[in-house]
Amino acid sequence: MQVLTVPKTKILITGSSGYVGYVLSRFFSEKGIAIVGLDLHENHAWKGNGNFRFYSCDITDRKKLEEIFTKEAPTHVIHLAFLMDPIHDTKREYDIDVNGSKFILEVADSTDTVKQFIQFSSSSAYGAWPDNKLWIKEDTPLRPRDYRYGIHKKEVEEYYDSFGKRKDLKLVIVRMCTAVGPLYHKKGGVVSILVNSPFLLRPNGRFCELQFIHEDDLTAIIGLIINDGELEGTYNLAPDSLSTTKELSPDKAFVYVPLLLMRGMIWVLWHLRLAGIMPSAITLSTYGIVVDPKKIMEQYHYKFKYTTLSGFRDTVSKRKQLGTL
């Protein structure tokens, strides 16, 4: 696949030290594309990479954002700087997730060199509900329940939709499912839970439906979007397949637990600061959010290289070889 026919392309990526930011930075920089990475702490994997320039920058520091944009004059922005894991400082979390997202779009809009802005939203913004149907489309209302990450994504999307941007700035929003792959460089996460836990929970007796997008499909699709100077709108970013927790971990013992009881236990542990997840995460792991990727597939006649199951298995195999699982 040919990536980036745009001359003098320079991509600014917020959250460049996180997993998806790292995957995309590596993909484009290896193709000779200049990458400007923004994050609080540098990923040392970039040492010696001549196509990658890092800035330590808080996404809520608008003045510094303006200085970096003025100096670097990027042509594309990929916004990934969000807090996936909740923190007890709700004001700080909101400031990063929502206000930071507003600042980055406003600064990009005021920087004439920026012609495309890709906002990574989340399929979790649709909400984990018992009445969820399979293959949720982009025009389905967002109702993220009490899941803070999803609530913030919804608010950011609403702000972006109402923002009076430049006509020559193309805005693309992708609602992505969980990304997996061998480049995941931190221990933990849903793959580790499915593989390493001695047993798995089955809230309300359900095997939750999941979608995983393999990093190879993720980079291929974002490459197509970056190379598309006309694309705008909102797109689901997930494979055209799903698997249940039972299919992903067929040899595990599953323990039935009432959802309300589990939420109550997690609520206590969260408020005692003994757990890193909130009760809303239990609901999310009970009721599947399965989105329909047909819109982006038809846009580029794209066929996924990996299903949810094959992507998961490839991730497990390669991460075990690398010692990150």
Torsion on CA atoms 159, 94, 237, 144, rounded to nearest 10: -90
Q: Look up residue 113 and give its DSSP letter.
A: T
Q: What's at 173, amino acid-wise? A: I
Q: What is the mean pLDDT of residues 3-32?
A: 86
Predicted pLDDT of residue 45: 67
Is the per-residue pLDDT at 306 higher than 60? yes
* 174-212 residues labelled b (16+ CB within 10 A) or e (exposed): bbbbbbbbbbbeeeebebbebbeeeebbbbeebbbbbbb
Is the per-residue pLDDT at 79 higher than 60? yes
Predicted pLDDT of residue 125: 96
Percent of the chain clearing pLDDT 90 (strictly above) = 82
pLDDT digits (tens, 9 = 90+) for 230-255: 999 999 999 999 999 999 999 999 99
Q: What is the mean pLDDT of residues 288-316?
A: 97
Model-level pTM?
A: 0.94
Contacts of 230 (CB under 8 A, 6+ apart): 170
pLDDT digits (tens, 9 = 90+) for 99-153: 999 999 999 999 999 999 999 999 999 999 999 999 999 999 999 999 999 999 9
Predicted pLDDT of residue 47: 67
Is the per-residue pLDDT at 54 higher than 60? yes
Is the per-residue pLDDT at 1 higher than 70? no
Q: What is the mean pLDDT of residues 283-288?
A: 90
pLDDT digits (tens, 9 = 90+) for 155-208: 999 999 999 999 999 999 999 999 999 998 777 789 999 999 999 999 999 999
Q: What is the mean pLDDT of residues 297-316?
A: 98
pLDDT digits (tens, 9 = 90+) for 259-281: 999 899 999 988 998 888 888 88
Is the C-alpha dihedral spanning 299, 284, 83, 102 positive or negative?
positive
In the block, tokens 């239990």 appear at 282
Contact yes or no for 290/136 (Cβ under 8 A): yes
Is the per-residue pLDDT at 323 higher than 50? yes
Q: What is the mean pLDDT of residues 78-96?
A: 90
- Domains along the chain with CATH numbers: 10-180+212-239+292-304 (3.40.50.720)
